[in-house]
Amino acid sequence: MEKLSHAYMVVSASAQDREEAALRLAQMMLCEDETQSPCMQCRHCRKVLSGIHPDLNFVERDRDEIGNFKREFSVKKMRWMLADAWVRPNEAERKVYVLRDAQTLNQSAQNAILKLLEEPPGRACFILCTDNAHALLETVRSRCTEWRVAAEAEQHFEEKILAAAEEYLDLAAKENLPELLRLLSGWEKLSAVDFRALIACLAQRLSDAACLRAEIPQMSRGRLLVLVALMERAEEYLRANVAAKHIIGLLMADTIAEQGR
């Protein structure tokens, strides 16, 4: 049987598909059968399916006073998981933590669990479920084995987002103002999911370049830092549920105004 990783990132636009894939991974991690996992017959496999396994933990965002999920994970919850992961399992050989909607982990929350992913307890495994891999820091992604659901559709989605991001960066680096304005105007037709993924992709791409993990041709250091700050503001507005058209207006005003100086 193939050796399992201690951390997986399940990526799919469908919350149901992510949940099903996470449950299957959890069964594989907890199954008693060392030759065929998941066997679907042992007590651990059955308890996972029944939702009663004491060593399977679903980690979600906190809820507000009226029962709605908050926009982001709290750092406090990540610290709870970090501490709990060192506690011995109740029944199985390991404990499994499934983080639902991991794309809502802010940078502080991701940094809080990074040490756990780098040096995990020997008896703990983690499954990060997300609709957007680029919403997670590169340092977090690199420590997870990626498991894509509906791979062909997801690959097309990612290629589309990457192409749009690279076009923006290329035009910004060349200071091609007319084409940049045309591109940004077209973003108003994007779906909410596509727009969020695009901003997250740009933020990560710019952050990697600012930290010298990647390069953006023809872009000066000063220009790079301006755009990093701009994408941070865009992500902040998205978390505050500001409409995409207003964020695009911000990008137009700041990107073009800064280049026009």
| pLDDT tens-digit profile, the chain (261 residues) | 457 889 999 998 888 889 989 999 999 999 988 777 788 889 999 999 888 999 999 999 988 888 888 888 888 889 899 899 999 999 999 999 999 999 999 888 898 888 889 888 888 999 999 988 888 988 999 999 988 876 555 666 678 888 999 999 999 988 888 899 999 999 988 877 788 889 989 998 898 888 888 889 888 888 888 999 999 999 888 888 888 889 999 888 876 555 444
pLDDT of residue 175: 84
Can you give the residue range of the structural domain that contains 76? Answer: 7-149
CA distance 64 to 237: 20
The total domain count for the chain is: 2
Is residue 218 a part of any domain in this protein? Answer: yes
Quick one: 100 and 210 in the same domain? no
Is residue 2 a part of any domain in this protein? Answer: no
Quick one: 13 and 111 in the same domain? yes
Quick one: 24 and 98 in the same domain? yes
Is residue 188 a part of any domain in this protein? Answer: yes
Question: To 10 degrees, the CA torsion angle through 32, 36, 37, 40?
Answer: -80
Q: Which of 149, 184, 204 is the last residue of a domain?
A: 149
Quick one: 133 and 158 in the same domain? no
Beta strand 7-11 with 56-59 is unpaired
pLDDT of residue 261: 44
Quick one: 57 and 109 in the same domain? yes
Quick one: 115 and 165 in the same domain? no
pLDDT of residue 256: 58
Q: Which of 107, 127, 149 is the last residue of a domain?
A: 149
CATH number at residue 138: 3.40.50.300
Quick one: 89 and 176 in the same domain? no
pLDDT of residue 143: 92
Of 127, 102, 135, 104, which Cα lies nearest the Cα of 4? Answer: 127
Q: Which of 149, 170, 199 is the last residue of a domain?
A: 149
Is residue 110 a part of any domain in this protein? Answer: yes
Quick one: 101 and 199 in the same domain? no
Is residue 139 a part of any domain in this protein? Answer: yes
pLDDT of residue 125: 94
Is residue 18 a part of any domain in this protein? Answer: yes
Quick one: 136 and 159 in the same domain? no
Quick one: 120 and 63 in the same domain? yes
The pTM score is: 0.62
Is residue 161 a part of any domain in this protein? Answer: yes
Is residue 246 a part of any domain in this protein? Answer: yes
Quick one: 35 and 88 in the same domain? yes
Quick one: 143 and 16 in the same domain? yes
pLDDT of residue 152: 53
